[in-house]
Amino acid sequence: VPTTFGLKAAGWLLAVVEARRRLAELGALLPAELGGAAGTLAAFGADGPQVVRLFAAELGLAEPLLPWHTDRSLLARLGAALAIAAGGCAKIGYDVALLEQTEVGEVREPPGEGGSSTMPQKRNPVGSAIAVACSRRVEASAQVLLGGLAQEHERAVGGWQAEWGALTDALAFAGGAAAAVARVLHTLEVDAARMRANLELGGGAVMSERVTLLLASSLGYERARETVAAAAARASGSGGSLRAELAGELPEGELDEVFDPTTYLGAAAELVDTALDHYRKDEGWVTTATGV
Amino acid sequence: VPTTFGLKAAGWLLAVVEARRRLAELGALLPAELGGAAGTLAAFGADGPQVVRLFAAELGLAEPLLPWHTDRSLLARLGAALAIAAGGCAKIGYDVALLEQTEVGEVREPPGEGGSSTMPQKRNPVGSAIAVACSRRVEASAQVLLGGLAQEHERAVGGWQAEWGALTDALAFAGGAAAAVARVLHTLEVDAARMRANLELGGGAVMSERVTLLLASSLGYERARETVAAAAARASGSGGSLRAELAGELPEGELDEVFDPTTYLGAAAELVDTALDHYRKDEGWVTTATGV
Amino acid sequence: VPTTFGLKAAGWLLAVVEARRRLAELGALLPAELGGAAGTLAAFGADGPQVVRLFAAELGLAEPLLPWHTDRSLLARLGAALAIAAGGCAKIGYDVALLEQTEVGEVREPPGEGGSSTMPQKRNPVGSAIAVACSRRVEASAQVLLGGLAQEHERAVGGWQAEWGALTDALAFAGGAAAAVARVLHTLEVDAARMRANLELGGGAVMSERVTLLLASSLGYERARETVAAAAARASGSGGSLRAELAGELPEGELDEVFDPTTYLGAAAELVDTALDHYRKDEGWVTTATGV
Amino acid sequence: VPTTFGLKAAGWLLAVVEARRRLAELGALLPAELGGAAGTLAAFGADGPQVVRLFAAELGLAEPLLPWHTDRSLLARLGAALAIAAGGCAKIGYDVALLEQTEVGEVREPPGEGGSSTMPQKRNPVGSAIAVACSRRVEASAQVLLGGLAQEHERAVGGWQAEWGALTDALAFAGGAAAAVARVLHTLEVDAARMRANLELGGGAVMSERVTLLLASSLGYERARETVAAAAARASGSGGSLRAELAGELPEGELDEVFDPTTYLGAAAELVDTALDHYRKDEGWVTTATGV
């Protein structure tokens, strides 16, 4: 069935907005860590909890309920949130790269990036590939952070040490994925005419759901389905169009509209507005919450 | 430095409480999915959004902002939350298994589980091992769910299909980890006398931080540190105790207290209370929020 | 630049042949495990090594150098080999799914599988998706097996227990990936005419490497590259063809051949023969080695 | 049951020797890659295969059967082999760290590394932790390489680009794990007396398998097992020894030997010799094969 590029992009937007919100929330949760070797604060005498409070305030970090050197949940959550954010970028990159295929040609990353050394006309999906590649690295780093949860006693053998580099990588590659996909989206050329033309490729096959539902009101659903399937098979076999094969089944005056994909977009426009509203509200929230 | 079993267990508790809370929150967020093949709701005509609303209400699920068959973030979040919950259980299992080692002997899982076929006296850390094993499986399933984010267009090739079994496994194994560790903790025998005895094993070495800080007030930190390190080396070489080696450096009347680990526990008791308070509040929240 | 479907399939073949060979080799390596709780064979008295020899022979397994309950390398290798085999299948599935896209249409999985409930004409890449989905699950299981290497002493806490199910899953899902992709390939409809037509889509752009190399002999490489890039940009802007834009630069009698992709396939046919030779030799080896 | 430190170390050795061998074998297999954008070698005209041959010879790499830019199996194998090698090092690190625990104390990493800032006497398992931490990072990198198998057509979107850094990391961290564990093993202090003493900790419980087998010859296996289990329970309850509890069941003259763990080591010594023989042969092979 047909959809709009706008609805596809609205899906991208929501995933990214949610990922950004969670990162902002986690950033506000990250607590200071101070507890001494066993987390008892014994070296500070009776002042331990007060020292932690002042230390956290000084660093602008949240105050921990407990010293958390043995509870790595927040780092694991951060790793997962970064992987989800990068995954949202990779989803965009993937879709863009698929739309960029020569045979599809619905969008293009701008020239100047990713020219092939021997094929000057070629535009490679460079930004999309970077987003996907970075996302794979974040995912692997998140795995290390999840694996760090099962640490030994108050001082882990290796799991804890592996976290440092993994967290750095997760942050760097998530940033890389976001930057790459931002550049792609800011410069993407969208070819609406080609999108429209591709919808026609199957000779109306993209409208078969609508036709089936229409015929079902007179034929019943099962017979409608069989009728359309048979017509689709004939069209596919002869290289003809579904519309031609079904011409006798529908009033001729309705054929144009029935096979017009732009009139079978359901709530696409409304859903795009919903996503944009959500984005604008979230934008305000993030600006306030993070001061950025 | 010494710590208490209570503080260790308080760390376990917080990790589990937080993990439970996040699962309850995510459970409340999970939206219904209804959108048709491309997410436009076109087959429902003008009633699409209203149909989604009623559908979600009927299922007792949250209403989605957008059809989300292309945005798998929530499933990835659920996978990560399950991995973190299972990881919190595995941390407990790991610590228990380490405490159960013959040479440590501070806790025991009850007889009746995990008897060895050829070594009747042996008590294997069966429940702990199950918790750790389940956690590894959840982690791997979470990886599949994170990898499902970068799906293709409106219908993924494989990533989406891989989610089904991976989510089932993640739920089952997270439940397995929680059940195993609950059984372990409900029946765990704690040997406080052995814990106390193990603290003495190093001939007072566990108190070297306190001694260093005490000596530092007269000698300065660097000289205090060297003095204690040299004494520790002599003690270690001769098989003697740090206390004996440092006897001349400290007033004799204070030696007993200085080398008493029970008086160097810092804020351990207070931190345990904090964790229990937090647990009780969260218990109320979860009961209210989930109706369980 | 153009390639042939045969060369693409030859690449698929080699990956699968190599993966099959490694699995057969590993199968022959898998040793019996018998060692007692600590691997000393003490319960068998002086006969230990002899008992192991007979035990392995009885089971038709290789004789181990040492009891290997603490060295999980072979299971990790098996997990990796299964992931690589499944990955080879997923690569095929991915390529097939991409070739099946409506806008590409170069191959089709047969009807009867993966019909859409509401879009009767639609042929979904069901087999390809299964291969990719299974491969993701094998990969996750392999991760559990790799993670099992760092086990504790003679009896691991959890890592070892997690192996059982992970290995079962790895075997099952690798088999699933292979079966799915075998079914896809046995029934795949290849549309050679569409492949040929898609090569023309860019108006000869696919031949720009050849044209550049040809012009380079008179213009030098840099000027040739600029000439072709400028022509490609003009063609892309006007919707014309690269051939038309470059007509003046090349002898008219040569244009047909220069822009004929079937005469710029390099060693594709020879490479396909190489792959088939290799496959036939390997086929013989596997039959002999495994008796299947 | 008792084992020897030698047999444990023999297990470490075999895992490392096998991992080294596989890396050397894979190193010899790595082929040159030259094929042009689609792998046809078209730009080289009729000389393509010959150019590949000379190119590979020039680089000292194996000659590929086919251009392999779409078949990433060898990189995935290399990633897995590095993960297995690092996992073998992590196994050593883990065991060493467990043996280093204060309550076990059977080995020590030398002073000078890993001193605690506040606890001068403390010897942290620094090298072991590095080996484990590096191994976790290699594992995650191997995951990226396994995930790269399912690439798209002749030029992947992201999976291929993610390989570069992942392979670099896998090589670097595998090297780090090997270096760390080599340093640990070259300087490890082994405390044989403590090992012996720890065997006695359970009051002879470590010998219960032998005692059960001995009693079984007169009592039958089931009754022997129950007798020993009951004695073990009494010993455990009273803090007494299994030997004392079973004194009446065995001829007094045999008690010393029956409860002497050094006479219940089975084939441990023979197995160590087997492992060392294997190592020496492999050492020769690697030296010859790699010229190092």
Specify the pLDDT at position C121: 54
Q: Is B210 annotated as catalytic?
A: no
Q: Are strands D107-108 and D189-190 parallel, antiparallel or unpaired?
A: antiparallel
**D133 and A97 in contact by Cβ < 8 A?**
no
> What residues contact A173, with CB distance under 8 A and at least 6 apart?
A86, A134, A135, A137, A138, A141
Phi-psi region of D67 (alpha: psi -120 to 50; beta: other; left: phi over 0): beta
- Please indicate if any CB of chain D lies within 8 Å of the CB of B155: no
Looking at the predicted structure, is the pLDDT value of residue B126 above 80? yes
Residues with Cβ within 8 Å of C4's Cβ and at least 6 positions away in sequence, in order, are: C265, C268, C269, C272, D40
Indicate the Cα dihedral angle D132, D133, D138, D144, nearest 10°. Answer: 130
Q: What is the pLDDT of residues B168-198, one digit of tens each?
A: 999 999 999 999 999 999 999 999 999 999 9
Question: How many cross-chain Cβ pairs, C to D, lie less than 8 Å apart?
Answer: 244
CB contacts, 8 Å: D132 with chain A: 157-159, 161-162
Rounded to the nearest 10 degrees, the angle between the axes of helix A159-187 and helix A126-147 is 160
Q: What is the pLDDT of residue B116?
A: 55
Q: Which two tokens stand for residue D78?
A: 């290399």
Name the residue with higher pLDDT: D110 or D55. Answer: D55
Percentage of residues of chain C with pLDDT beyond 70: 95
B149 close to B80: Cβ distance less than 8 angstroms: no
pLDDT digits (tens, 9 = 90+) for B212-231: 999 999 999 999 999 998 99
**Which one of B103, B104, B199 makes the best mutation probe of the D interface by having the most chain D beta carbons within 10 Å?**
B103
The amino acid sitting at C116 is S
Residues with Cβ within 8 Å of residue A238, at least 6 apart in sequence: none
Q: Are D151 and D70 in contact (CB under 8 A)?
A: yes
How would you write C10-73 as a 3-class SS string? HHHHHHHHHHHHHHHHHHHHCECCCCCCCCCCHHHHHHHHHHHHHHHHHHCCECCCCCCCCCCH
Asked which of A70-84, C51-65, C144-158, D63-77 is least confident by mean pLDDT, the reply is: C144-158
8 A C-beta contact, residue B97 and residue B139: no
* Distance from C-alpha of C49 to C-alpha of C57, rounded to nearest angstrom: 12
Q: Is C136 on the interface with A (CB under 8 A)?
A: no
Give the phi and the psi of residue B190 in degrees, each rounded to 5. -105, 130
Distance in angstroms (rounded) separating the CA atoms of residues B204 and D98: 21
Tally B–D CB contacts below 8 A: 81
B123-127 mean pLDDT? 83
Task: Report the alpha-carbon distance of residue B90 to residue B136 in Å, rounded.
Answer: 9
Asked whether the beta carbons of residue A121 and residue C229 sit closer than 8 angstroms, the reply is yes
Query: What is the bridge-based pairing of β-strands B189-190 and B107-108?
Result: antiparallel
pLDDT tops 80 at residue C116? no
Q: For chain C, what percentages of helix, strand and coil (3-state, to nearest 5) are there?
A: 70, 5, 25
Set of chain B residues whose Cβ sits within 8 Å of the Cβ of D208: 119-122
Query: Judged by CB atoms within 8 Å, which residues 6-25 of C form the interface with A?
Result: none
Measured CA to CA in angstroms, residue B225 lies from A40, B207, B235, D112, D130 at distances of 21, 13, 15, 15, 26
User: Where in A17-150 does DSSP place strands (E)?
Assistant: 107-108
- What's the pLDDT at B110? 78
- What's the pLDDT score for residue C114? 53
pLDDT at residue C287, rounded to an integer: 81
Q: What is the mean pLDDT of residues A109-127?
A: 66
Judge whether C64 and C52 are in contact, CB under 8 Å.
yes
Please state, in angstroms and rounded to a whole number, the distance separating the CA atoms of residues A122 and A111.
9
Is C155 annotated in the active site? Answer: yes
**Average pLDDT score over residue span D131-160:** 91
pLDDT in tens, D193-233: 999 999 988 788 899 999 999 999 999 999 999 999 899 88
**Single-letter residue type at A48:** G
ipTM surpassing 0.90: yes
Contact between D11 and C154 under an 8 Å Cβ cutoff? The reply is: no
Q: Say yes or no to pLDDT of A115 above 70.
A: no
CA–CA distance, C126 with A224 (Å, rounded to integer): 24
Q: Of the ranges C116-130, C216-230, D118-132, which is most confident?
A: C216-230
